[in-house]
Amino acid sequence: MPEHIKSIEEKIEELNRKRERIQLGGGQERIDKQHAGGSLTARERIAVLLDQDSFLESGLFAEHRCTNFGMQGKPMPADGVVTGAGSVDGRLVHLACQDFTVGGGSAGEVHCRKIVQMMQASLKTGSPFIVVNDSGGARIQEGIESLSGYGQVFYNNVMLSGVVPQISLICGPCAGGAAYSPALTDFIIQTRSACMFITGPSVIKAVTGEEVTAEEIGGPAAQMNISGVVHFVAEDDRDAMAICRRLLSFLPSNNLEDPPQWDAEEIILPDKYLNTIIPVDSRQSYDVRDVVARLVDRADFMEVQEHFARNIVIGFARIQGRSVGIVANQPAVMAGVLDIDASDKAARFIRFCNAFNIPLVTLVDVPGFLPGVEQEYGGIIRHGAKMLFAYSAATVPKITVVMRKAYGGAYLAMCSKDLDADRVISWPTAEIAVMGAEGAVDVIFRNEIRKADDPKAKRQELIAEYKESFSTPYAAASAMKVDDVIEPAETRRYLAMSLDILHSKREFRPQKKHGLIPL
């Protein structure tokens, strides 16, 4: 063989050397720094997330084309993002995992092109798209090319929206585009040490003079509890990957499939504990998650946005092996009243479930919408209307259980029969009325109470009468707004049978480009 022609062994050796060099990302020193901060590297994260040996990488040899600011010839292994396909519990996913050890995971033209390629592969194969964010945002040296790259990521986020589930993990500092792209996806999982913001502390100080730390402005306490941007908080990278895997187990791979079906119990026995789970006195509170735990398989409830708008509880569970989305008022927080944040939280979740064929189970114990100047100025009319809109627009099976209070507009907004709920059942403890007995009596019997010899006693008498006649489920049941009044112990069985019956539900709506949910 002529000397200048390399043998196949030499070529394979060269290939392996190149691979090893690229797979080391930004080098051992930066990997050590990542580990010292308690984080995994991009490749380690992928190994934890995916089924063993299922990862098929693409774009390993991709390189940037930037020549500005000393970038010419500067190695950026894999251009700072590891992309490919793999499986989670045997089901296909596509993913992009930013590598902070390479240029701070910053996103340039090629980096974004790699992400977009995976998004389009998700779309073509009907598989979820997962992106692990750990990035300083748009790569400053690449100027308009990096902005354009992020623009294309955003555009493709929207193309995927409602077709395949999109999940973002925030595993490091995420600024600018690295925060906006997750905001366009369905779920955000943030680790305790990560932060996300559009502009960081130094820019905020320069523009507004406010002094905040990255943690205060973008840590999980801020982005979950206050802003409601984040859906799950993870202890660390491993926990974030575990949350992502668990979340995927409830979801179909795309909008044309049903969620995976798990094993069901042979028979469902009545659960007498449910008969006493809620206090009959409607002034007493309880944790609605205790009710949810009794109704779903193995008490396995994956709560979404646990620390935001805690007056409403949302999340995924299974009933007889079928995935369901649960929406429940939480009497333990603000008596379960609906306010701006609760309406936003629930409406978004309802729309996700509808897009991905996940039936909705709504548990009602709601005293009404929260009155107040702050709520009115904040646009409670617009935000509360989102719930009316989302439930009305949803065509998945909708089953509502009225447990106790169901008053006024909030009764309607919690998936009432008039918003086309397929089944509304009620416990005998239900109070379905325009408002609570005390308020109603004060409005409609004001004169009688004033004129009575003993106004206080008269008021109590009228309250008792009102409660007897109207604060029950029977008026609603006689008007066919409630399909049945059942013993609470029978609820799980009733839900399971209803989900079975409604599985083949098909509903056809007028053709339109899209509805106009009040944003």
Residues designated as active site: 176-177, 409-410
Rounded Cα distance, 71 and 303, in Å: 45
b or e along 228-259 (b: 16 or more beta carbons within 10 Å of the residue's beta carbon)?
A: bbbbbbbebbebbbbbbbebbbbbbbbeeeeb
Could you tell me the CA-to-CA distances from 34 to 99, 101, 214, 449, 467 in Å, in that order? 10, 7, 18, 72, 63
Rounded Cα distance, 410 and 41, in Å: 47
Q: Which is nearer to ligand HXC, 203 or 464 (CB)?
A: 203
3-state secondary structure of 230: coil
CB 129 within 8 A of CB 94: yes
Q: Which is nearer to ligand HXC, 200 or 260 (CB)?
A: 200
Rule CB under 6 A: which residues touch ligand HXC? 103-104, 106, 136-141, 147, 150, 173, 175-177, 180, 200
Q: Which is nearer to ligand HXC, 108 or 368 (CB)?
A: 108
Which of 299, 285, 331, 284 lies closest to 312, judged by CA? 331
Q: Which is nearer to ligand HXC, 141 or 166 (CB)?
A: 141
What phi and psi, each to the nearest 5 degrees, are found at residue 377?
-65, -30
Q: Which is nearer to ligand HXC, 200 or 384 (CB)?
A: 200
* Residue with token string 């079928």: 322
Report the nearest approach of ligand HXC to the CB of residue 97 (Å). 16
- E runs forming strands in 31-122: 56-58, 81-88, 91-98
Q: Which is nearer to ligand HXC, 146 or 329 (CB)?
A: 146
Query: What is the phi-psi region of residue 82: left when phi exceeds 0, alpha when psi lies from -120 to 50, beta otherwise?
Result: beta
Other C-beta atoms closer than 10 Å to the C-beta of 173 total 23
Report the nearest approach of ligand HXC to the CB of residue 222 (Å). 15
Report the nearest approach of ligand HXC to the CB of residue 135 (Å). 7
Report the nearest approach of ligand HXC to the CB of residue 36 (Å). 12
Report the nearest approach of ligand HXC to the CB of residue 242 (Å). 25
Burial class (CB in 10 A: 0-12, 13-18, 19+), 56: exposed
Which of 19, 107, 99 lies closest to 66, judged by CA? 107
Q: Which is nearer to ligand HXC, 138 or 337 (CB)?
A: 138
Could you tell me the CA-to-CA distances from 469 to 439, 448, 485 in Å, in that order? 15, 18, 16
Report the nearest approach of ligand HXC to the CB of residue 59 (Å). 19
Other C-beta atoms closer than 10 Å to the C-beta of 303 total 16
The kind and range of the H/E element at 447 are helix 446-451
Q: At what angle do helices 42-49 and 237-250 cross, to 10 degrees?
A: 40
Report the nearest approach of ligand HXC to the CB of residue 175 (Å). 4
Q: Which is nearer to ligand HXC, 165 or 200 (CB)?
A: 200
Report the nearest approach of ligand HXC to the CB of residue 137 (Å). 3
**Per-residue DSSP letter, 297:** G
Could you tell me the CA-to-CA distances from 380 to 144, 229, 374, 412 in Å, in that order? 39, 19, 9, 15
Q: Determine the Cα angle at 183 with ends 182 and 186, to 5°.
A: 80
